[in-house]
């Protein structure tokens, strides 16, 4: 059964191919529909199965024509119009547009001029010097393509957490419905909440392995079986590989610890165990202090733990470590002395300070966004539409005059709302670390988020100086998505996270974790470095519609990967404390 992410991917491809074919307007409509399909909380395929066409058309941006294509795809596995487009433009559009600076229009032109269909064809043309001969291109563009080919190939191998984790939740729900399943949990990088993952790894404890594997490979959502055996099976659901491993219930805890990783964490933990006369593996924790040859077998020694994951750590005298911390960044030493952080949870978050409306590139009114925030139980909420500046999507940023007008509208909504509504703006941090806002505008705003959107190819030293300069600007409250990266699309700025943290701590400027699953910027290690330097963090969704306020889930787990406690995150604070920080 097609997942929401898979359906959304078809419409994103539709939009790219239409844009490559120089079609206007339609690509934007398809991208808007794709965003809302991806974020929709219920599997849309369920509506198709129930014949509920009205609910499909109720999804924002999905009208009759797009709904028909959704139904066609779910029922047949393809969309005829998309297949015709693919035949007319046989471009591997997803791969080629992973090259930074190469969008659908560029891909279309290179196909028409040089017949380029794949990354390999693009590389051959660049190496032969053919691209710079195409009108509108040049040596710099050609060199950019050569420089970014390896990155484009690497990112094509991993899925976004925001696409894979919802599928993982569906897999767990299905497995939990099987009577023979004693316990189940995700493992691997998805359990550690990494920004991108290779496959969805799932572990089941059961006494009936054959039964569970048979039901798993025959699950309605499975598109194809890759392989299966007595202890494991792999299937493909949409574009994502799901790997199932089954173990007996008594070894579930040890297997979960082992297959969660990370590799570095497990190596460090095994070495810690060896120093204490213990051995760890997927079958349990074994006391080998009296064993002459501890390597004589996987189960050599006295088994002292393995049924539960917590027991594996307790056997070593350690606290259980949340999966997000297991990256070998000091968690074992901290657990040994009882100093693991008291990580924040989603329930700690009281508001969101960076969201967008139809005033710039969002899809909803101020009132609609605020109502959605009220429904989530927030105490406060910030509107921060784009100000004018280079790199702002579609040149949709607001002028100073428009910002003042919007502030007045926000104040009106705030007066009628049950929560505090902040009037903010997302300003652009230019290549020199400056923002372009008038003093009158700055005086009217409650919160200024400043983010880099252009000049993202600066070297690390220049980028660090640029961002520190922005942090030190007394008008700026939050440095938004500091690297400007887009996962699987562009790498963004490289910088010294400790230097940013030190500057942020000295200037009372928060560093943002942008929770959009295509950004997750800052990331775990950078958050940890910034917090260690004394910085405060803001977890914001950058939501452009009510449904994407749900992105807070990804931001919270990213903060946890950075060892963040509630006190480290400004939007867990009481309103009075937050106001004092912003002012």
Query: Is 366 in the same domain as 487?
Result: yes
> Which of the listed residues 311, 336, 361 is the one where a domain comes to its end?
336
Q: Could you tell me if 12 and 137 lie in one domain?
A: yes
- Determine the Cα–Cα distance for residues 503 and 529; give it in Å rounded to an integer: 12
What is the per-residue pLDDT for 155?
59
Q: Which helix (H) or strand (E) is 223 found in, with range?
A: none
Q: Which residue has the higher pLDDT, 118 or 504?
A: 504
Is 256 within a domain?
Answer: no
Residue 60: its pLDDT value, please? 84
The pLDDT-based confidence of 491 (bands split at 50, 70, 90) is confident
Nearest to 488 by CA among 99, 131, 165: 99
Q: What is the CATH number of the domain that holds 505?
A: 3.20.20.140
For residue 315, what is the domain's CATH number?
3.30.210.10
Q: How confident is the model at residue 488 (pLDDT cuts 50, 70, 90)?
A: confident
Assess contact for 535 and 499: CB atoms under 8 A: no
Neighbours of 429 (CB within 10 A): 28
Query: Please, which pLDDT band fits residue 210 given cuts at 50, 70 and 90?
Result: very high
Structural contact between residues 254 and 282, judged by C-beta atoms closer than 8 angstroms = yes
CATH code for the domain in which residue 241 is found: 3.30.460.10
SS3 523: coil
In this structure, are 459 and 549 located in the same domain? yes
Residue 253, in any domain of the structure: no
For the stretch 333-361, pLDDT in tens is 999 999 999 999 999 999 999 999 999 99
The CATH number of whichever domain residue 113 belongs to comes to 1.10.150.110
Residue whose C-alpha is closest to residue 400's, from 390, 412, 386, 414: 386
What pLDDT shows up at residue 9?
86
**What b/e sequence results for 272-282 when a residue is b if at least 16 CB atoms lie within 10 Å of its CB, and e otherwise?**
bbeeeebbbbb
Return the beta strands (E) in 326-460 as ranges.
Answer: 351-355, 380-386, 420-429, 447-452
Average pLDDT over residues 47-58: 91
Angle between helices 64-76 and 80-88 in degrees, nearest 10? 90
Residue 281 has pLDDT above 90, yes or no: yes
190 & 243 share domain: yes
- Any domain includes 473: yes
Tell me what pLDDT residue 154 has.
64
Band of residue 141 on the pLDDT scale cut at 50, 70, 90: confident
- Phi/psi of residue 492, nearest 5 degrees: 75, -170
Could you tell me if 298 and 406 lie in one domain? no
Q: Can you give the pLDDT at residue 1?
A: 64
Q: Is 258 inside a domain boundary?
A: no
Q: Rounded CA gap, 224 and 237, in Å?
A: 7
- 416-473 confidence digits (pLDDT tens): 999 999 999 999 999 999 999 999 999 999 999 999 999 998 988 999 999 999 999 9
408 and 533 share one domain: yes
pLDDT in tens, 166-204: 999 999 999 999 999 999 999 999 999 999 998 999 999
Dist CA 195 CA 364 (whole Å): 27
Residue 392: name the closest of 352, 449, 452 by CA: 452
Q: Which of 104, 134, 155 is the last residue of a domain?
A: 155
Please provide the average confidence, as pLDDT, over all residues in the chain.
93
Same domain, 447 and 546: yes
Residues of the domain holding 235? 159-247
The pLDDT, as a whole number, for residue 156 is: 59
Look at residue 443 and tell me if it is in a domain.
Answer: yes
Residues 176, 163 share a domain:
yes
- Is residue 341, in this structure, part of any structural domain at all? no
Are 127 and 194 in the same domain? no
578 inside domain: yes
CA distance 583 to 572: 17
CA–chain centroid gap for 271, Å, is 32
Q: Are residues 407 and 549 in the same domain?
A: yes
Contact 507, 474 (CB under 8 A): yes
How high is the pLDDT of residue 135? 86
Q: How many domains does the chain have?
A: 4
> Which tokens go with 32?
């808007």
Other C-beta atoms lying within 10 Å of the C-beta of residue 96: 26
Q: What is the Cα–Cα distance from 91 to 86, expressed in whole angstroms?
A: 7
Cis preceding-peptide flag for 522 (omega within 30 of 0): yes
Helix (H, G, I), strand (E, B) or coil at 436: coil
Q: What is the mean pLDDT of residues 61-86?
A: 92
Per residue in 79-131, pLDDT (tens digit) is: 999 999 999 999 988 888 878 778 899 888 999 999 999 888 998 998 899 99
The answer to whether residue 583 scores a pLDDT higher than 90 is: no
d(CA 398, CA 463): 26
Pair 189, 151 in one domain: no
Residue with tokens 């996987």: 298
Percent of the chain at pLDDT exceeding 90: 73
Among 20-29, 262-271, 282-291, 389-398, which is the least confidently predicted range? Answer: 389-398
Q: Own/partner pairs for 59-64, CB < 8 Å, 24+ apart? A: 59/33, 60/32, 60/36, 60/363, 60/545, 60/547, 61/29, 61/32, 61/33, 61/35, 61/36, 61/363, 62/33, 62/36, 62/37
Q: Are strands 447-452 and 302-305 parallel, antiparallel or unpaired?
A: unpaired
**Which of the listed residues 313, 336, 359 is the one where a domain comes to its end?**
336
Does residue 252 form part of some domain?
Answer: no
Buried b (16+ CB within 10 A) or exposed e, 107-138: bbbbbebbebbebebbbebbeeebbeebeebe
The pLDDT of residue 417:
98
| 562 and 504 co-located in one domain | yes
Stretch 294-316: mean pLDDT, rounded?
A: 91
Residue 394: the pLDDT is 57
CB atoms within 10 A of CB 583: 9
**Which residue is it, tokens 């968690």?**
331
């Amino acid at each position: 059964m097609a997942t929401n992410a898979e359906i959304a991917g078809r419409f994103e491809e539709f939009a790219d191919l239409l844009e490559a074919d120089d079609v206007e307007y339609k690509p934007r409509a398809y991208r808007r529909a794709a965003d809302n399909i991806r974020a929709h909380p219920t599997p849309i395929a369920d509506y198709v199965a129930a014949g509920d066409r009205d609910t499909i058309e109720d999804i924002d941006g999905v009208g009759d024509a797009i709904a028909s294509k959704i139904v066609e795809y779910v029922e047949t596995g393809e969309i005829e119009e998309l297949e015709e487009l693919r035949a007319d433009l046989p471009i591997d559009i997803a791969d080629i547009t992973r090259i930074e600076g190469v969008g659908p229009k560029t891909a279309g032109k290179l196909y028409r001029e040089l017949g380029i269909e794949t990354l390999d064809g693009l590389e051959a043309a660049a190496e032969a010097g053919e691209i710079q001969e195409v009108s509108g291109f040049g040596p710099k563009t050609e060199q950019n393509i050569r420089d970014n080919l390896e990155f484009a190939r690497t990112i094509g191998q991993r899925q976004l957490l925001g696409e894979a984790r919802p599928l993982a939740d569906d897999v767990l729900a299905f497995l939990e419905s099987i009577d023979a399943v004693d316990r189940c949990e995700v493992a691997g990088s998805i359990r550690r909440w990494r920004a991108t993952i290779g496959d969805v790894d799932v572990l089941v404890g059961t006494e009936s392995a054959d039964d569970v594997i048979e039901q798993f490979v025959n699950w309605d959502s499975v598109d194809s079986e890759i392989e299966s055996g007595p202890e494991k099976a792999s299937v493909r659901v949409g574009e994502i590989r799901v790997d199932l491993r089954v173990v007996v219930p008594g070894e579930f805890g040890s297997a979960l610890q082992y297959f969660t990783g990370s590799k570095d964490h497990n190596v460090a933990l095994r070495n810690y165990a060896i120093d204490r006369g213990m051995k760890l593996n997927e079958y349990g924790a074994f006391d080998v202090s009296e064993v002459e040859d501890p390597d004589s077998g996987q189960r050599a020694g006295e088994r002292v733990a393995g049924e539960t994951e917590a027991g594996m750590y307790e056997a070593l005298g350690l606290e259980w470590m949340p999966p997000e911390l297991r990256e070998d960044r000091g968690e074992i030493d901290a657990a040994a002395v009882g100093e693991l952080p008291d990580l924040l949870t989603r329930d700690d978050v009281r508001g969101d300070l960076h969201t967008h409306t139809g005033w710039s590139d969002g899809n909803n009114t101020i009132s609609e966004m605020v109502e959605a925030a009220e429904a989530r139980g927030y105490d406060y909420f910030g509107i921060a539409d784009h100000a004018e500046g280079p790199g702002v999507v579609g040149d949709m940023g607001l002028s100073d005059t428009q910002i003042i007008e919007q502030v007045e509208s926000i104040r009106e909504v705030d007066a009628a709302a049950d929560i505090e509504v902040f009037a903010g703006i997302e300003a652009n941090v230019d290549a020199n670390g400056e923002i372009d806002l008038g003093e009158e505008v700055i005086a009217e705003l409650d919160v200024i988020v400043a983010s880099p959107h252009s000049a993202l190819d600066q070297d690390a030293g220049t980028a660090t100086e640029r961002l520190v300069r922005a942090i030190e600007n007394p008008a700026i409250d939050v440095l938004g998505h500091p690297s400007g990266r887009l996962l699987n699309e562009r790498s963004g700025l490289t910088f010294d996270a400790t230097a940013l943290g030190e500057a942020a701590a000295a200037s009372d400027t928060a560093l943002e974790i942008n929770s959009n699953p295509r950004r997750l910027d800052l990331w775990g290690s950078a958050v940890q470095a910034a917090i260690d330097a004394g910085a405060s963090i803001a977890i914001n969704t950058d939501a452009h519609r009510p449904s994407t306020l749900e992105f807070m889930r990804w931001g919270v787990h990213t903060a946890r990967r950075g060892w963040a406690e509630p006190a480290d995150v400004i939007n867990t604070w009481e309103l009075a404390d937050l106001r004092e920080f912003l002012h």
